[in-house]
Structure 1
């Protein structure tokens, strides 16, 4: 498998099975880190934010040292709730419906899987999203 120097391998080991399970999803390198896409739409993106290089991400995540983060899409009440929750969640620099999650503490990978499922379903064509098992509620 491809390795991305700025993303810890253990993070990729957790994210890959989640993201690759979605219909027609694919992984590719991004300007930094790696992203997962469906039909050229990014539903998950991870990188290690270095405050000296990715200043806008470092400010948004409120970090002053290199920190691995994940961004994904959310909508409506979920978007508002995640942004209101505060750390480890943060408003990603762009786009407006993107949420960031710092991966520098204990990570609930089950919750991450649910969030990425919703992100995928927001961006995937309806026929593909209909093939995805979504959590109740």
Structure 2
């Protein structure tokens, strides 16, 4: 099996910053790199590289959080696109 490279610390810090406003979201070691969890659920899995759009990453991880987190936590989230709180929690919304 091919070895997996360590993630650059700057990338981890950027995802941490994107999820900083998401209550009860915790970073922890994963089988490769790190993961962020809310309760028992993973927030999102991403493939990152040198061409990653960090604005898009911020939007994706916060939206994923809002889909998986309980409504009481979602209500506390300010989203990167300027929408404030209440993105549904527990189920995708359109």
Fold shared, TM-score > 0.5 on shorter chain: yes
Kindly state the Cα deviation for residue 18 of structure 1 after the two structures are TM-superposed: 1.2
Runs of 4+ in 1 over 4 A off after TM superposition: none
2-side partners of 1:125 and 1:132: how far apart? 11
Aligned length: 78
Bigger RCO of structures 1 and 2 (CA < 8 A, at least 6 apart) = 2
**What TM-score does the superposition give when structure 2 sets the normalisation length?**
0.71
Q: Cα RMSD (Å) of the superposition?
A: 2.0
Given candidates 56, 64, 68, the residue that maps to 1:119 is 64
**What TM-score does the superposition give when structure 1 sets the normalisation length?**
0.51
Kindly state the Cα deviation for residue 105 of structure 1 after the two structures are TM-superposed: 3.2
Long gaps (5+) in structure 1: 45-70, 72-99
Long gaps (5+) in structure 2: 84-93
